[in-house]
Amino acid sequence: DAKTTQPPSMDCAEGRAANLPCNHSTISGNEYVYWYRQIHSQGPQYIIHGLKNNETNEMASLIITEDRKSSTLILPHATLRDTAVYYCIVRVFTSGTYKYIFGTGTRLKVLA
Amino acid sequence: EPEVTQTPSHQVTQMGQEVILRCVPISNHLYFYWYRQILGQKVEFLVSFYNNEISEKSEIFDDQFSVERPDGSNFTLKIRSTKLEDSAMYFCASSFTGGAIFSNQPQHFGDGTRLSIL
């Protein structure tokens, strides 16, 4: 099972910030949080990842709470092209490698 | 920016036939993966591959499935005798790191092959 929980859907007005929450209450101290999105049936697109400090790149910002049990992905000025399913992932380490266990994600709809 | 490429984008095959899905991972990446997504369902892990051998495989990855890195650039998924329930999107991914406990480089995914079994 996925180690994260996310709301199934959210709406956001175009031009406004989209704040997508994720709970990962069982995360351990050295596990990263990864965010991806999937537009239609395209391949999951990497957005950002972090351990405990807030992170920002050209696509988004990631805010991780101090206890690391939850995080928020922020798209600062959402556009119609940001409509997608967003996945928050904590990797699972078994048999010497990491793998992703995807949940159902949050379906973000950006409204004109 | 380098990307993972997959071919073909759509494959239609008769049930019982063999199919090979092809992937070209990012060139300096060392870890390779296959995932699948049945229409309307979650993305599911199939297999991870490192140093020319399978690192882990899921319950889905039974004896009908195999993976290979036949040369320095391609990574393939073969389904020996396809079944109707193999119809899905198949995604290849690669990452530079993936085995060390403190490695954190993300996996990068291709746009997938839609496999339709008739």
Per-residue pLDDT, B57: 93
Residue A14 has pLDDT above 80, yes or no: yes
The closest alpha carbon to B94, from B18, B17, B23, belongs to: B23
Chain A CB contacts of B51 under 8 Å are none
B102 touches A at CB < 8 Å: yes
pLDDT in tens, A15-28: 999 999 999 999 88
Per-residue pLDDT, B102: 59
Strand partners, A106: A86
b (16+ CB within 10 A) / e for A35-47: bbbbeeeebbbbb
Please identify among residues 44-73 of chain B the ones whose CB lies closer than 8 Å to any CB of chain A: 44-45, 48, 50, 55-56
Search chain A and give the residue with CA nearest B88: A41
B25 touches A at CB < 8 Å: no
A103 touches B at CB < 8 Å: yes
pLDDT in tens, B84-118: 999 999 999 999 887 665 578 899 999 999 999 99
Cis before B2? omega within 30: no
Work out the percent of chain A whose per-residue pLDDT is above 90: 79
Residue A24 corresponds to which tokens in the numbers above?
Answer: 């990962």
**Is there a contact between A47 and A58 (Cβ–Cβ < 8 Å)?**
no
By Cβ distance, the residue of B33, B44, B99 closest to A96 is B99
